[in-house]
Structure 1
C-alpha cells in the first residue's frame, strides 16, 4: 500500500474513493487481502472518516467485502463471476473498439502501438507492470471511442477483476502473454485498416482468451495450498 499517493484535504471522501478504486483496478491489492482503515488512512495521509466513507461506497459496489465492522477484504473472484464479467466486457469493449476503428487518428494509433510495445517488454521482467499496460491498452480504446458511459461500466468491471488479473499475469508463462501472436496485434492491425468489424472481433477474441483465468481460478480453488494462502490473506 506504500504505492498509494497522498491526497489533498478538499473533497477527501471522493478523492480517497478514487484512489482506492484505482488501486483495485491496478491490482495493488491481492484477492482476499484484508484492508485496515487505519493503515489506509495513514498511507493516504487522511483521517479515518473519509477512508471509511470510501470503503462503504466500494462495499456497496461489491468491489470490497465487509463481514464485520472492521473486517474488510478484497473479494476472491470465482470463475462463475469472472465469466459473467468477461461476457459483459466482450459486448461493451467490442462495441467501443468497433467505434474506435471508425474514429482513430494516426497519433492515437501510435500511442496504442507504444502501449503494446511497453506491455511486451514488461511481460518478460515485470508482470505487475505488464498488467498495468494491458489495462492501459483496453482503456485507451474506450477513450478513443469517446463513450463515457461505457467507460464507467467497464471501470466497475475492472475494479472487480483487477486484483485477480494482476495475480494471473504473475503466474502465466512469458511466452503466453508476450508472443508475436498476442491478440492485441490483431486489434492494431484492424485499427490500421480502419476495419470496425475486424476490430470488434479481435478485441473480443482477446477477452475470450482471458477466460483462461477462469480455468486458473478453478485450479486454485481445488488446490489446498492455494486455498490456504487465500485464507491466510483473509486473517492477516
Structure 2
C-alpha cells in the first residue's frame, strides 16, 4: 500500500479458495480476519472477504480502496482496486463493510452493514436460525466504466484469441447491473424445494417476468443473480415451471 501512488491500482489474488469458501474457517479467520460460510455462492463471498480485509488494512493508514473489477476463475479469486487518500474516504469505504446472514433452511439471505457483529437473527421467511459470514465487502464488485472499456479493448483483439475473457466480461456486464449480495444456484434451489431444476436462463427469465432484475453470474454456471427475495424464487419453483 505504501508503494502505491495516489489513484494507483492494486491487484490481489487469493489461491486459497478452500479456506475462503469455509472448508477451514479458523484459517480464514487468521489470514483474513473474517468468518467464511460454506454455501453455494461461497466464491462470491470469498471475493468479498478478500476486499473487506484489504479495505480494513488500508483504513489503518487513512487510505480507501474501491473495487474496479473482480472475478473468480478456476481455483483462484482476483480483485482489482483503486486507492484514494483521506480519512473521510477511508471511513466511507469501511461503511460498506458488514455481515451477510444466510438461512440454510430456505436459502434467504440478509446483508447488514457495520463492523460490529450482530446477534444472528432468525430468518424472516421461515424462522430458522441464520448463519453469518463476515466482516466482508457489501458494496459493488465492478465499476461499469472499467467493464465497458475492457469490452472495447477486447473488441479490437483478434477474434477467438480471448474467447474466455470475452465470455467472462459478457456475463459480468449483465450481473453488475443487479444489486445483490450472493446468487442462487438452480441445483441447490431444486434440492431445497424438491423440484426439477430450472435452467439458469429460464429462472432469470421467470424472475424478470415478476419485475425483478436477474442475470447469469460468472461465479457459477448454474447461478442466477437477482434482486428478488427468496419468497419470489420459491414461488417460481413451486409453480413447477419446466426447463
TM-score (norm 2): 0.27
**Greater relative CO (CA pairs within 8 A, separation 6+):** 1
Q: Which has the higher strand share?
A: 2
Q: Which has the higher helix share?
A: 1
TM-score (norm 1): 0.27
